[in-house]
Structure 1
Amino acid sequence: MSKMSTEPVRHALNGSTMGTRWSALFFAQAGFDPDPVRAAMQAAVNEVDRQMSTWNPDSDLMRLNAAPVGAWVAVPDRLREVLQLGLEIGRASGGAFDIGMGDAVRAWGFGPVSAAPDGIRAAMKNPRRPAHEVLEFGGDHVRKAEPVALDLNGIAKGYGVDRLAETLRDHGIADGLVGIDGEMRALGLRPCQEPWTIAVEVPDPERRVPHSILALQDAAVATSGDYRHWVEVQGRRLSHTMDPGRGAPMLASPASVTVVAKSCVEADAWATALMVLGADRGAPLARKHGLDALFLLRDDDGSTRGVGVGRLFSEEPAAIASAGER
């Protein structure tokens, strides 16, 4: 009689969401059926997309965008949670993270339509107040005190990753690694009782190679960079990260910023904020808020150097950094 294996079985799940792919890696005992987990994870990210997409004109976010100024609009709990966190990080970052940049994102061609010169001029010319000054909450309703086009692309993927993690836990899986398009969250440990390893990429659009390796346990990581999504204007490549002060892409920014936090939604939003601020202004703010952050900067000779903040990146350049439960 053959002996039944007690070795855990590796499960790698994935699916489409937000124009990219979600993924989940975990181990379970032999005989475990991953199909209900896969279906629940797809439903979780579909819900995020259905509520927060700017590509879907019928999303709850776009319904709020289309509402008249001053009109109270009922929004679902998850959207309200992300809006409130976006405003909180907007205030904490002095407006560097601003979910009210939807007009600029769309005008420059980073939304569902091509770049539009008239829209670009309007986005750069029109005076704007940050979203945290013009969005108001009343119970499960939200209203705009003045015109604002909301965009959650700098925070929704991170929230989607957290929803994937919650779904794993809802199915009794305490250890795993989930992600959407490079934004990752680690739960517990691998079967060997070692942390999950995640690469921080060299900011190079031509190749995908690691700059350093993170070893994460019960922590999330997000990277914002200038090397994956951009537009070219008069021979100059401009990043998708918007400068709220200009209503236009950043003219000078780090090549990338990586942030490690307890939740992926926080890491995602703060990575964007620190890209806008740059290392000189962003590093002190990261220290003030107790963030672990890595700024990768390009020098004139084309080389890359790092500026690390926090316990994980204080020895930059690091080969391995570890994050435990916070």
Structure 2
Amino acid sequence: MKTFSETPQPSLPSLQRHALSGETMGTRYSAVFFAGAGIDASAVGAALFAAVDKVDRQMSTWKSDSDLSRLNAAPAQQWIALPGELMAVLDAALRVGVQSHGAFDIGVGDLVDAWGFGPAGPVPDESRIGALKQRVRRSASDILEIDQVQKRARKSAPIALDLSGIAKGYGVDALASCLDGLGITRYLVGIDGEMRARGHKPDGRAWAIAIEKPVAGVREAMGVMELADAAIATSGNYRHRVELAGTQHAHTMNPLDGQPASNRLASVTVVMPSCMLADAWATALLVLGETAGVELAQRHGMNALFVLHDGDGLRQISIVDGQREP
């Protein structure tokens, strides 16, 4: 599946290639861009780090002093002032939650921790899992109220919010906005596989994005997608897993049944203008599975690639502008 949005330009040899990277959100961010010879790469690097560090300090559940942790710890019915960036992500998350019929829900922090994928550690807590199974779950859209005018939020009941399915995508958008603000118009930025591209390379080619083969313990490309002026995000159940009672469980939580997602999908890749939304929708479609997920992607006119287990191999379902390709 290819995504193009402008006519390739002629080669511009005066532009120089720069590649910068650093650590953020427990992984790494990267930026490859082309700019004139007068660009101060060190200043660009500092600006990129500041952009992703700001997202991490606001939205991390691993930092007890983050704005998200502050909201999680606040008592019910108390308004909490929040920065605009976090407010935007909360608003987008709630909208995707409603549009996906609950398949995407940021109110799964308790499940993430209980299954060993949160700050508490990598070991599932069986007693806590059992207790959560007995509890009637309410979604974040039922509990969280946001006030965009006054930049504040409050909860009607205790809830543990987790933005791991959307914050990295927003971080990629923040990297893109940073370069846009510096007048850089040909770039590819990413955080742990979530990517966003603008323009083409100076030779007129689109950016080539490798799609990883979704097999545990294997790091090889399954294919390549060309990207220009768009973002791409992939959610998969083949990297982070825990074992409980002899069974392997994936890290993506299914809010609809309170369990780790379990279906034939190995990964879902989504292409959208916003990496934040691509990130959230990739998670939602992965949770929904190869039937409901594909149908929802079609109804919303999405560009998505579903990779599912088929016997001993893998099979692909490609949706382009809402249409299923043969």
TM over 0.5: yes
What residue is the counterpart of 2:320 in the other structure?
310
10, 13, 20: which one pairs with 2:20?
13
Structure with more contact order per residue of length (Cα contacts < 8 Å, sep ≥ 6)? 2
Aligned pair 1:207/2:185, yes or no? no
Q: Conserved in 1, the CA contact under 8 Å of 2:109 and 2:161? A: yes
What residue is the counterpart of 1:320 in the other structure?
none
Unaligned runs of 5+ in 1: 317-326
1:2-151 matches, cutoff 5 A: 7-114=14-121, 115-138=124-147, 139-151=150-162
Once residues 97 and 312 of structure 1 are traced to their aligned partners in structure 2, the CA distance between those partners, rounded to angstroms, is 20
Q: Counterpart of 2:263 in structure 1: which amino acid?
A: A
Once residues 18 and 119 of structure 1 are traced to their aligned partners in structure 2, the CA distance between those partners, rounded to angstroms, is 26
Q: Given the superposition, is the C-alpha separation of residues 253 and 88 from structure 1 closer, same or farther in structure 2, using an over 3 Å criterion?
A: farther
What residue is the counterpart of 2:235 in the other structure?
224
More deviation in 123-132 or 9-18? 123-132
What residue is the counterpart of 1:289 in the other structure?
300
Q: Conserved in 2, the CA contact under 8 Å of 1:225 and 1:255? A: yes
Aligned pair 1:260/2:271, yes or no? yes
Structure 1 residue 153: deviation in Å? 0.1
Aligned pair 1:167/2:174, yes or no? no
Once residues 51 and 173 of structure 1 are traced to their aligned partners in structure 2, the CA distance between those partners, rounded to angstroms, is 26
What residue is the counterpart of 1:322 in the other structure?
none
Q: Counterpart of 2:126 in structure 1: which amino acid?
A: P
Q: Given the superposition, is the C-alpha separation of residues 6 and 293 from structure 1 closer, same or farther in structure 2, using an over 3 Å criterion?
A: closer
Once residues 161 and 26 of structure 1 are traced to their aligned partners in structure 2, the CA distance between those partners, rounded to angstroms, is 14
* TM-score between the two structures when normalised by the length of structure 2: 0.92
Q: Counterpart of 2:213 in structure 1: which amino acid?
A: V
Q: Conserved in 1, the CA contact under 8 Å of 2:299 and 2:322? A: no
Q: Residue deviations 1:278-324, cap 9 Å, x none?
A: 12001111111111111101022x200011112498446xxxxxxxx
Q: Residue deviations 1:144-192, cap 9 Å, x none?
A: 1122110000000000000000001111101100000000001111111
More deviation in 203-212 or 144-153? 203-212
Percent identity (aligned): 52
Structure 1 residue 223: deviation in Å? 0.4
What residue is the counterpart of 1:154 in the other structure?
165
* TM-score between the two structures when normalised by the length of structure 1: 0.92
Structure 1 residue 92: deviation in Å? 0.1
User: How big is the alpha-carbon RMSD for the aligned residues of Structure 1 and Structure 2?
Assistant: 1.6
What residue is the counterpart of 1:319 in the other structure?
none
Structure 1 residue 120: deviation in Å? 1.6
More deviation in 99-108 or 233-242? 233-242
Unaligned runs of 5+ in 2: 1-11
Q: Residue deviations 1:87-142, cap 9 Å, x none?
A: 00000000000000000001111111123222222222211111112111233110
Q: Given the superposition, is the C-alpha separation of residues 212 and 311 from structure 1 closer, same or farther in structure 2, using an over 3 Å criterion?
A: farther
